[in-house]
Each structure stands twice: as structure tokens, then as C-alpha cells.
């Protein structure tokens, strides 16, 4: 309702995110990804960062791992929210593993170690790297 009545509202990103979440929960992954992509429009925000991450999740669920990796890598490149950027990099590493691109997987995990040193995400990256060896 908000999107149709107040298309320029400051709540537009959140509304598109909500539509995406509802679509994702009902298994309508293409529609969810489209709504999430709309939520990334506008100023960089935490909602936009979360929406970009969810685009990657939808693509992963559809087994579109290359596209998912690219979607995940956009989060730290486009938004300044450490929590979502680090999580997206860990997800991108998983996508590269599924694509059998171990070198890219290691590269991304090392990036988490470097850019988010001392964080829980760096600890996860270190544990994943140790499993690879």
C-alpha cells in the first residue's frame, strides 16, 4: 500500500525489502530478488545492504552461484556496513566453493581476515581456511 500511495516516501526501501522478504518466504525467489533489488535503489542504507545480501541468498537458492557471488561482492563494495559486508564476503566464499573456484574462495576469506581483523567474521574465515588446508 505504501509503495502505491507514497512512492517517494522515505520508507520506500523498507517497503521493498518487506515485499522481498514476503516473496522469499513463499518461495517466489525471482520476485523476491526483484523486490530486494528495488530496495537497493536510493541512498546507501543498512536496509539496502541487507537487501543486496538477500539478492545473493535468492540466487544461491536457485543454484545461480556465479550471479550470487557477484551479488554478495556488491555488499562491501557499495555499502559501508561492516556486519553485512563481512557476512556477504563469507557467503561469496561459499559461492566460489560451489563453483569449484578454490583460489577465489581463499582470496575472499583472506579479505575477511584483513578487512575485519579481530571480528567474529574473521574468526569464521580463519576456521574455514583451516578446513581447506
Q: Per-residue pLDDT averaged across 88-104, rounded?
A: 98
pLDDT of residue 133: 81
Distance CA 44, CA 61 (A): 25
First to last CA, the chain: 52
pLDDT of residue 42: 80
Q: Per-residue pLDDT averaged across 88-108, rounded?
A: 98
pLDDT of residue 41: 87
- The model carries a pTM of 0.90
Q: Which fold has domain 2-132?
A: 1.25.40
pLDDT of residue 35: 95
pLDDT of residue 7: 61
Domain spans, the chain: 2-132
The model's pLDDT over 5-51, given as tens digits with 9 standing for 90+, comes to 656 666 688 889 999 999 999 999 999 999 999 999 888 999 999 99
User: Is the pLDDT confidence value at 55 over 90?
Assistant: yes
Please say whether the beta carbons of 126 and 113 come within 8 A.
Answer: yes
Q: What percent of the chain has pLDDT over 70?
A: 92
- Give 111's pLDDT tier (boundaries 50, 70, 90): very high
Q: Can you give the three-state secondary structure of the chain, one letter per residue?
A: CHHHHCCCCCCHHHHHHHHHHHHHHCCCHHHHHHHHHHHCCCCCCHHHHHHHHHHHHHHHHCCCHHHHHHHHHHHHHHCCCHHHHHHHHHHHHHHHHHCCCHHHHHHHHHHHHHHCCCCHHHHHHHHHHHHHC
Amino acid at each position: 500500500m505504501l509503495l502505491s500511495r507514497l512512492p517517494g516516501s522515505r520508507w520506500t526501501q523498507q517497503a521493498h525489502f518487506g515485499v522481498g522478504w514476503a516473496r522469499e518466504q513463499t518461495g517466489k525467489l525471482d520476485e523476491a530478488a526483484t523486490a530486494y533489488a528495488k530496495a537497493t535503489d536510493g541512498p546507501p542504507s543498512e536496509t539496502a545492504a541487507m537487501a543486496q545480501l538477500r539478492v545473493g541468498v535468492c540466487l544461491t537458492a536457485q543454484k545461480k552461484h556465479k550471479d550470487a557471488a557477484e551479488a554478495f561482492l556488491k555488499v562491501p563494495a557499495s555499502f559501508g556496513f561492516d556486519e553485512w559486508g563481512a557476512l556477504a564476503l563469507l557467503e561469496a566464499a561459499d559461492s566460489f566453493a560451489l563453483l569449484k573456484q578454490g583460489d577465489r574462495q581463499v582470496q575472499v576469506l583472506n579479505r575477511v581476515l584483513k578487512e575485519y581483523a579481530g571480528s567474529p567474521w574473521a574468526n569464521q574465515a580463519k576456521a574455514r581456511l583451516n578446513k581447506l588446508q
